[in-house]
A = this chain, B = another copy of it.
Amino acid sequence: MNTSPLAQAFPELPAIEGVTLRVARARYKEWDRCDLTFAELAPGTSVAGVTTQSRCPSPEVEWCRKALVLGQARALVVNAGNSNAFTGDRGRAAVEAIAARAAGHLGCQPSDVFVASTGVIGVPLPIDKAEAGLDAAFTAQPCDWRAATDAIGTTDTFPKAAVTRAIVDGKTITLVGIIKGSGMIAPDMATMLGFVFTDAAIEPAYLQRALTAANEASFSRITVDSDTSTSDTVLAFATGAAGNATITADEDAGADAFRAALSDLCLQLAHLVVRDGEGATKFIQVDVQGAESDRSAHRIAMSIANSPLVKTAIAGGDANWGRVVMAVGKAGEPAERDRLAIRFGATQVARDGLAVPDYDEAPVAKHLRGQEIEIGVDIGLGDGRATAWTCDLTHGYISINADYRS
């Protein structure tokens, strides 16, 4: 697979105290690469998470949901190459076996072990390979973020990670996130597999609130192909090693700074997934304002971002704003044709229900030749606004998905 033309360089990432990473070859597929990631977390680590809204979630997702109630984590295990989704009792047994094996090594409860898997749907995760891989990981040397990020990827064409910092209670805290995902991306409350690690001390319930809010403004605003995965999971782990007074509420010192840093990190990670969208050649930002509510604006933005006709027009560098009108119209949200305004980049192309007088397509065509595309829509009815991000729809998407058994 060629690297996405929208790829970004892997950033310099600092260690997070309380987090130890190891990878191993479980050989879930016939490949010569690490495909099992094991993150050991210091005792006392808080955890929060958001998972797919799919009605057919993987057993890993169900396991994480139950474990999240307790708010404590000692380990994260990620399997790449097999999502273990839609595998019935055998899939559930595989997750339980992995959690038990990891808990036995660490001397913790199985419910302290979080498990996520990604890859083909419908094939039970082989327990023997998982256990052998875990055993290998326990004895392996610790690795860096890059090795862990490589090990969680599947059809990803570049490794995706981000870092932010904040001052909390006089201490510098650090957040590092790693993420994988390229197709089957329309998270609607979560994304493929994303993991955030911080050394801040955060009470689990507060970490959950902060993650839920960050997710709403990041992973829930991206789409590659409108197809929501069975396995979407984002987990956030806070080891507390930074030594700040534990954050438990908005009023606490540094709570604002932490929330802002977490939101920034999640948005960076979400954008990286779009930049690795299957077949993507352009990164598209859709800004909607003037809707009746923020929720309405969000639905309109996603209707545009999911439209195959809008996405193929952008792929072809075609300033086809009629397709944007179509996508606004099909969203089912309040809109009045005669108040609608549309821009590409900085150029207004339509206003008050028709093309602007003396519309000059040249600056729009130039904007569309770039890699970073902006579509702006003003509904003209109220104050609701929202932004969504997507990529274009190209021959590359067809080539990847008409052949690949995901």
Contacts and interface: CB of A to CB of B under 8 A. Distances in A.
A176 interface: no
Given A55-B333, A332-B55, A395-B395, A122 B86 contact: no
A187 to B, nearest CB: 10
Contacts of A169: none
A184 B326 CA distance: 9
B322 A406 contact: yes
A331 interface: yes
A184 B354 CA distance: 20
A328 B56 contact: yes
Interface stretch (A10-18, A255-263, A311-319): A311-319
A334 B56 CA distance: 10
A123 B325 CA distance: 13
Contacts of A312: 397-398, 401-402
Interface residues of A, number: 72
Contacts of A86: 322, 325, 337, 340, 350, 353-354
A402 B88 contact: no
A54 interface: yes
Given A309-B183, A309-B184, A327-B227, A352 B88 contact: yes
A323 B393 CA distance: 19
Nearest to A359: B122
A226 interface: yes
Contacts of A105: none
Contacts of A51: none
Contacts of A350: 86, 122
Contacts of A393: 398
Nearest to A309: B227
A101 interface: no
A196 to B, nearest CB: 24
B227 A307 contact: yes
A322 B87 CA distance: 10
A85 interface: yes
A345 interface: no
Nearest to A317: B402
Interface in A270-327: 306-309, 312-313, 315-316, 318, 320-323, 325-327
Given A227-B308, A352-B88, A398-B395, A323 B406 contact: yes
Contact of A329 (B55, B316, B338): B55
A110 to B, nearest CB: 22
A122 B123 CA distance: 49
B402 A329 contact: no
A124 interface: yes
B406 A57 contact: no
A1 to B, nearest CB: 16
Nearest to A396: B398
22 contacts: A53-B330, A54-B330, A55-B334, A56-B326, A56-B337, A57-B337, A86-B322, A86-B340, A86-B350, A87-B353, A88-B337, A88-B352, A88-B353, A91-B354, A121-B323, A122-B354, A123-B355, A186-B330, A225-B309, A308-B308, A393-B398, A395-B395
